[in-house]
Structure 1
Amino acid sequence: MRRSLYHAVLWLVALIWFAPVAWIILSAFKTREDILATPPKLLFTPTLQNFRDLFTTNASFVVQFANSVVLSLVSVVIAVAISFLAAYAFSRFKPKGTDFLMFLLLSVRMLPGPAVILPIYLMYAAFGWKDNHVALVLFYAMFSVPFSVWILKGFLDGVSIRYDETGRVNGGSWFHVIFRVVLPQVKPGLIAAFIFNLIFVWNEFLFNFVIGGVQTQNIPYALAVGTYSDGGLNWTFIATMTTIYILPPILAIYAFQKYLLVGMTFGTVRGEV
């Protein structure tokens, strides 16, 4: 009885938290009149017209969605690759001032966006990097490195250095030790860092709005500038674009949820393996 009650409470909490998301998804299949109906309609005739309008009347949507995918995936892959090597150096070689450098990395990452947007904008404008995919990818990668280093260092600290020593004694190169011996053991950490940073870049608006441009617009930018039309809120546009927008991260989190759970606890509650 207690176990059933416990699971019922968990389901209730989950449904309460999911209710706004479910309402947005349902609204994507409603007409404007159904969305604004009072009292709200739970039973309605679904329509796909909102999705047709999004792809036909909003010609830039496909480009904006592609920009979100490219900027997120490429920048996070670069960040995770760099962070793994940096975390390996911090974990294995422990250079002088490691603790201070780790603190410095995290403190820089904790700076609020509005505090750094002006110097970054001036730098990008001076070098002619505005509205440039490569420049924006490098910026997002730079912004994702500190958090990834912290996650991966915790994982690497939990992997015994004896693996490295055994590989070296048996004639393995550093490349072999790092990428063939150690890397497979921290795969959950790599996936956790990838997903966490992917969500950040996927949802990022401020820097894309300021140092981006027409060619690099992402979905948050499109939501911000397309919210109002015909003298009011365009609820069908908001609901439809949001529904498409939230699907990729939901699917990614669902597919890798076991790695995310491990990533949030590894290195904090266990020792070497």
Structure 2
Amino acid sequence: MQQTRTRTAVYYLILWLVAILFFLPVFWILMASLKTPNDILAVPPKFIFQPTLDNMIDMLSRPNTVPYFINSLYLSITSVSLAIVVSFLAAYALSRYRFRATNFLMFLILSTRMVPAAAFVVPIFQMFNAFQWRNQFGVLMLYTMFSIPFSLWILKGFIDGVSTRYDETGFVNGASRLHVMFRVVLPQVRPGLIAAFIFNLIFVWNEFLLNFILGGPGTQMIPYALAVGLVSAGGNIDWAFVASLSTGYVLLPTILIFLFQKYLLVGMTFGTVRGEV
């Protein structure tokens, strides 16, 4: 018994140390956003200081900051919502209408997310130029396309866990296929929908490379602002701006993960661990 308690204590100690290591950069950014520029660059670092919101006010008062936030929200929420709708329809079809190569097809679809974005950015760039898609529509479709494979993989796992008896009961009672899909199956895979939505929302929210290369005027998001806005007019890194923008940038993923962490657990296990969801 004592050995088991010691082993458990060691495991928790290691987990806490790893968590602290991951949280330290976030803690530094959060503290820097509340410091004056002189306090940020102070040596040794100041842990006791007078907090100020001047950095936040300055960050929000800059001309492009609010449009960057609006673009990030619009492109993330809209593209992922479209991807969830398409993925649910495809997942239902692949789950209920099985054929010999279903698993291989699912592997091919998911493998598109395994390829680094830099590997196909050149042909996509040429296509976007040819069709003049370097606008919100083009970027929206691009993020929708990238969000479909992972959403499809998660949702198919959930729909596979819903017995076909529910479908058969609905058909016997005169329900149409669409009625069964949206009124019978859809409510039972709600945790999967939420998990897929949050996972892909965080992916699009954090995406930089494609937005930087393929996006045109009016499509830039917060990662783009962080990349091109690091340097102030004097040629030095504007740490106050970077810290305040980064603090605002991490709020949405943090809130979503805190509110829906149980759904994320279910999503990562593809519905095999449901718990109290």
Q: Give the structure-1-normalised TM-score.
A: 0.93
Residues 157 and 267, structure 1, Cα contact 8 Å, conserved in 2: no
Per-residue deviation, 1:257 = 0.6
In 1: Cα distance, 2:127 partner to 2:11 partner: 53
Per-residue deviation, 1:15 = 3.2
Name the structure 2 match of 1:233. 237
In 1: Cα distance, 2:114 partner to 2:140 partner: 20
Per-residue deviation, 1:95 = 3.5
Per-residue deviation, 1:269 = 6.7
Name the structure 2 match of 1:119. 123
Counterpart pick for 2:219 among 203, 216, 219: 216
In 2: Cα distance, 1:80 partner to 1:55 partner: 32
Residues 154 and 266, structure 1, Cα contact 8 Å, conserved in 2: yes
User: SS at the partner of 2:266?
Assistant: helix
Counterpart pick for 1:95 among 96, 99, 103: 99
Unaligned runs of 5+ in 1: none
**Cα deviation 1:91-146 (Å, max 9, x = unaligned):** 1111342122111101122111111100000000001111x112211110011101
Alignment map for 1:124-203 (pairs within 5 Å): 124-130=128-134, 132-203=135-206
Counterpart pick for 2:72 among 59, 68, 72: 68
Residues 195 and 263, structure 2, Cα contact 8 Å, conserved in 1: yes
Q: Amino acid of the residue matched to residue 32 of structure 1?
A: P
Q: Amino acid of the residue matched to residue 195 of structure 1?
A: I
Residues 28 and 240, structure 1, Cα contact 8 Å, conserved in 2: yes
Does structure 1 residue 19 correspond to structure 2 residue 17? no
Q: Amino acid of the residue matched to residue 258 of structure 1?
A: K
Per-residue deviation, 1:61 = 0.6
Name the structure 1 match of 2:258. 254
Name the structure 2 match of 1:204. 207
In 2: Cα distance, 1:178 partner to 1:6 partner: 48
In 2: Cα distance, 1:14 partner to 1:121 partner: 39
Q: Amino acid of the residue matched to residue 217 of structure 1?
A: Q
Summarize the Cα distance change of 1:165–1:136 in structure 2 as closer, same or farther, 3 Å threshold: same
Q: Amino acid of the residue matched to residue 124 of structure 1?
A: F
In 1: Cα distance, 2:145 partner to 2:65 partner: 27
Q: Amino acid of the residue matched to residue 72 of structure 1?
A: S
User: SS at the partner of 1:150?
Assistant: helix
Per-residue deviation, 1:167 = 1.0
In 1: Cα distance, 2:94 partner to 2:23 partner: 40
Unaligned runs of 5+ in 2: none
Residues 36 and 52, structure 2, Cα contact 8 Å, conserved in 1: yes
Name the structure 2 match of 1:41. 46
**Cα deviation 1:171-228 (Å, max 9, x = unaligned):** 1111111111111111110011001100110011111111112211100000000011
Q: How many residues align?
A: 268
Per-residue deviation, 1:81 = 0.7
Q: Give the structure-2-normalised TM-score.
A: 0.92
In 1: Cα distance, 2:149 partner to 2:80 partner: 12
In 1: Cα distance, 2:156 partner to 2:142 partner: 22
Residues 192 and 271, structure 2, Cα contact 8 Å, conserved in 1: no
Per-residue deviation, 1:13 = 4.0
